[in-house]
Amino acid sequence: MPMLYFAVPTVALLVTLGLAASIALLAALLWFASRDNVRAKRSVLLVAIPAWAIGLAVAVLPAAPLPDPSIPAGTFNWIPFLAHRERDLGVEMLANLGLFAPLGLMLSFCWRRFAVLKTTLLVLGISICVEATQLALRNNRASDITDIITNTAGGFIAAMIGWVLVSLIGNRKATAETPVPDSLLER
């Protein structure tokens, strides 16, 4: 049975498309949040979150063409950044940071309280599940603590950015809706 995998140019194309879709999604969420259109915001999220999950599965579950030389097949690497010491994996690290960033942004528009904490914990859990699945599938993918760390960091950073944006929109709306006291109008 032939293994399904994506060549590097395809991965670059998928990352570029994902980034463009994330920027468009963020713009739409900011637009609807600034207009206080909760129904439209929820509708976008009800489509975008499952679409992101499908994209995640397509990105991380197909087999790699060659096994990772730094991590023996069927094992989990518990040493952070081990593979990065042996070869330059800067692009892979950036990709792992960006992999969960869209989810972090989207969830910051869902939860009102403790959005960053909830998002970070959810991203951590999903990332652990992804690495465990890759380990169980034995599909030439490296199961690595570094991936969990970078995925979680990407989700956390994006959740922080989203929380700041949502807070700014909320503060701007609250300031615009605050009535001017009569005592200031009489002067």
Q: Model confidence over 112-166: pLDDT tens digits?
A: 889 999 999 999 999 999 999 988 888 777 788 999 999 999 999 999 999 999 9
Of the candidate ranges 8-12, 38-42, 67-71, 158-162, the one whose mean pLDDT is the lowest: 8-12
Residue type, 141: R
- DSSP label of 81: T
One-letter amino acid for residue 111 of the chain: W
Between CA 70 and CA 78, with CA 72 as vertex, the angle to 5 degrees is 75
Instruction: Give the alpha-carbon dihedral of 130, 133, 139, 142, to 10 degrees.
Output: 50
